[in-house]
Amino acid sequence: MKGVNDMSGFPSSSRPTRRVDFGLAPALVAQGLGDSRLALGLAGLGGAWGPVDQDESLATIQRALELGLNVFDTAPAYGTAEALLGRALGQWRGPRPIISTKVGRLAGRDSHEENYDHTPAGMRASLERSLDALGVAKVDLLFLHEPQMVSPAERPRVVDTLRALQADGLVLRLGIGGGFGSELDGFIESGAFDVMMLFRRVDPVMLDGVGTDVPRLRRTGMTIYGASPLHMGLLGSRHEQFVRERPDWVWGPQIDRAQQLQVLARRHGLPLAALAHRFTFGVGELDRVVIGASNRGELRAALADFEAGPLPPGLFDAVCQINEPRS
């Protein structure tokens, strides 16, 4: 008898569990982080990847609120995202959404400039600026952004600083945003964190996180966000661009898998982005999926993919098979 989740007959630990519906997230509810399966990430809307129309970005956030999307993820490094969300919330008269932001990485001139501050004063000042921009007294979830940039020797002090921000009532829950393997050593074991945001670790061209990250996180009781189901645009609007000229952060095998997925999507009459969204939304190991959008059209498309429901078992399995190691 099949339950909520179905392994579709594949025993491999690197194969994700297929949800038979997108459902809710009871573990997140217990943490006070809402019950939505989706969060809207604001990196693209804030201009982290390039210039944007600020009016369109604001309208997209407002439309998301109107459509009932009630979880938003932002960061100082996401350009004007925090200020835009603050403006939208200032005009919103509905229920207050769940808000997460980050500390550790600061705003740069563009997405390529890396600017970090992990000092106690720096992280506190960063959070205070975020709260001011958002127009709130506290956030529901505070992520340590890119933990791999903290040396092992400094990690206990960073954890202590985050705990102090939580004790001061500036944040409800703590999370880790990004990283894997040894980059998380000392953080996960500290017991300070409730949520892990996996970034490019569980999506249609990268399933390594299912067999490595997920078991480690589950042993600690952490809930899991899956960010960037379109693998930073490789499975969406930037597919042709990335195939033509592969960026440094995209591995060769992922390009090959993306091309195979494009063929698979066309065979089934689906846009590549829809295939990628519906696959990632249906991964049972993820408690919440962080979608991205740069405008209202992309938001509508992502929400339509969510409404379409999980991929059929055979199609879900075909995506998994593209990720199987080649002998």
Q: Which of 196, 179, 209 is nearest to 100 (CA)?
A: 196
Radius of gyration of the chain (CA): 19
Domain range summary for the chain, segments of one domain joined by +: 33-322
Distance CA 170, CA 165 (A): 6
Q: Could you list the mean pLDDT of each consecutive 10-residue stretch along the chain, which spans 327 residues?
A: 35 79 90 96 93 96 97 97 98 97 88 87 98 98 98 98 98 98 96 97 96 95 97 94 91 94 98 98 97 97 97 97 84
Distance CA 288, CA 67 (A): 18
Distance CA 167, CA 153 (A): 23
Distance CA 102, CA 109 (A): 18
Helices 120-134 and 155-167, axial angle in degrees (round to 10):
40
Q: How many CB atoms lie within 10 A of CB 99?
A: 26
**140, 32 contact by CB (below 8 A):** yes
33-322 domain in CATH 3.20.20.100? yes
The pTM for the full model equals 0.94
Burial-class residue 289 by CB neighbours within 10 Å (0-12, 13-18, 19+).
Answer: buried
Distance CA 95, CA 297 (A): 24
For residue 4, the model assigns a pLDDT of 40
For residue 9, the model assigns a pLDDT of 36
CA distances from 91 to 42, 68, 95 (A): 18, 15, 12
Distance CA 190, CA 175 (A): 12
Distance CA 268, CA 130 (A): 44
For residue 327, the model assigns a pLDDT of 57
For residue 136, the model assigns a pLDDT of 98
CA distances from 278 to 38, 112, 123 (A): 12, 30, 36
